[in-house]
Chains A and B, each alone.
Chain A
Amino acid sequence: MNLWFWLLLACVLAYAWKLVGYFVPAKLLKDPRMSRIAGTLTIGLLASLTIVNTVASGQTLAADARLGALAAAAVALAFRAPFLLVVVVGAGAAALLRLIGWN
Chain B
Amino acid sequence: MGLEPAEPGTTAVKLLASPAVRVGISISIATGLYGVSFGALSVTSGLDFWQTMALSLLLFSGGSQFAFIGVVAGGGSGIAAMSAATLLGMRNGIYGMQLNALLHPTGWRKYVAAQVTIDESTATSSGQTDPDEQRRGFWTAGIGIYVLWNLFTAVGALAGSGLGDPKQWGLDGAAVAAFLALLWPRLKGREPAAIAVVCALATVVAVPFVPAGVPILIAAVVAALIGWFSHGRSDEGLEPDVDPYDEHHGRRDKNRDAHLDNQRDSHGDGHGQTGQAGA
Give residues in A with beta carbon < 8 Å to B.
Answer: 2-11, 13-15, 17-24, 26, 28-30, 32-33, 35-56, 58-61, 65-66, 68-70, 72-74, 76-77, 80, 82-84, 86-96, 98
Contact = CB atoms under 8 A, between A and B. Distances in A.
Contacts of A39: 227, 234, 237-240, 242
B130 to A, nearest CB: 19
A41 B91 contact: yes
A51 B203 contact: yes
Secondary structure of the A contact surface, majority rule: helix
Nearest to A74: B180
A48 B216 contact: yes
A20 B206 CA distance: 29
Given A41-B223, A46-B179, A90-B177, A11 B59 contact: yes
Secondary structure of the B contact surface, majority rule: helix
Contacts of A7: 47, 51, 54-55, 68, 78, 81-82
Residue of A2, A22, A58, A77 contacting most chain B CB atoms (<10 Å): A22
Contact of A44 (B27, B81, B110, B195): B195
B268 interface: no
A30 B115 contact: no
Given A18-B89, A74-B180, A95-B173, A43 B82 contact: no
Contacts, number: 330
Residue of A9, A10, A55, A94 contacting most chain B CB atoms (<10 Å): A10
B167 A18 contact: no
B93 A18 contact: yes
Interface of B: 23, 26-27, 29-30, 47, 51, 54-55, 58-61, 63-64, 68, 70, 72, 74, 77-79, 81-82, 85-86, 89-101, 105, 110-111, 113-115, 117, 119, 167-184, 186-187, 192, 195-200, 202-204, 207-208, 210-212, 215-216, 219-220, 222-224, 226-228, 230, 234, 237-240, 242, 245, 247, 270, 273-274
